[in-house]
Amino acid sequence: GAVVSQHPSWVICKSGTSVKIECRSLDFQATTMFWYRQFPKQSLMLMATSNEGSKATYEQGVEKDKFLINHASLTLSTLTVTSAHPEDSSFYICSARGGGRQAVDGVQYFGPGTRLTVT
Amino acid sequence: EDQVTQSPEALRLQEGESSSLNCSYTVSGLRGLFWYRQDPGKGPEFLFTLYSAGEEKEKERLKATLTKKESFLHITAPKPEDSATYLCAVRPLEAGNNRKLIWGLGTSLAVNP
């Protein structure tokens, strides 16, 4: 149980274009989803938290107009990197947490990640 | 300031050589401590949650323990497939379920056959 998928697993795009990453909870309803960014040899950096049907809460220093997050259903959240630049190249990972007991426990279940390369 | 420190940064073991990874934390109050395993190029995989000092949890060759200041992840008779980065995260005791986790930098474990 508690499986989270991400699509695509890797993407290469040209500078100035936008790219969308999907995150789906496959066997549970994710009331809260999180988007992280991870650089080589570094830990996870939280970008934003989103609750289903609400606007995402962005961490300090994360541009909300550049990283658009939509959590339109209890099983799907999307991250759109707008006008991507080479410095946006990174490993993006989503996680999901259900309501009820999962919310109390605080366990986040992670997707496999998306490697974004901007040329 | 809330902080999580993991040690060692890297650990190399021979197959069958047991050892422990450390996660020290400084938070005003602990709501939960989490251990994850991350393989290269993959998302973290949930291992354990610990909530109070004295609590222990086991899964196969792994055992996690918790005190008021730190957690240990004990690996008994490791195998090469246990090679991965082990991440520790703490959920501070604050109001609201959206309070973010505080992550350590991880311990990179390599088990040689």
Nearest residue on chain B to A115, judged by CA atoms?
B41
pLDDT at A101 (0 to 100): 73
Burial B45-54 (b: 16+ CB within 10 A, else e): eebbbbeeee
pLDDT at B52 (0 to 100): 93
pLDDT at A77 (0 to 100): 95
pLDDT at A72 (0 to 100): 83
Ranges of residues in chain B with a pLDDT under 70 are: 95-99
Partner B, chain A 36-95, Cβ-Cβ below 8 Å: 42-44, 46, 49, 51, 57, 59, 91, 93-95
Mean pLDDT, chain A, rounded, equals 93
Give, for B89, the enclosing helix (H) or strand (E).
strand B84-92
Q: Tell me whether residues B42 and A112 touch, CB distance under 8 A.
A: yes
Q: Tell me whether residues B101 and A105 touch, CB distance under 8 A.
A: no
User: Quick one: A110 exposed, middle or buried, by C-beta within 10 A (0-12, 13-18, 19+)?
Assistant: buried
Q: Residue A10: is its pLDDT beyond 90?
A: yes
pLDDT digits (tens, 9 = 90+) for A23-81: 999 988 998 999 999 998 888 999 999 988 888 999 999 999 999 999 989 999 999 99
pLDDT at B83 (0 to 100): 98
Q: Which residue has tokens 């490791």?
A: B78
Query: pLDDT higher for A93 or A99?
Result: A93
Confidence band for A106, pLDDT divided at 50, 70 and 90: confident
Q: Nearest by CB to B43, which of A43, A51, A112?
A: A112
With residues binned 3-state (H G I as helix, E B as strand, rest as coil), the percentages for chain A, rounded to 5, are: 5, 55, 40
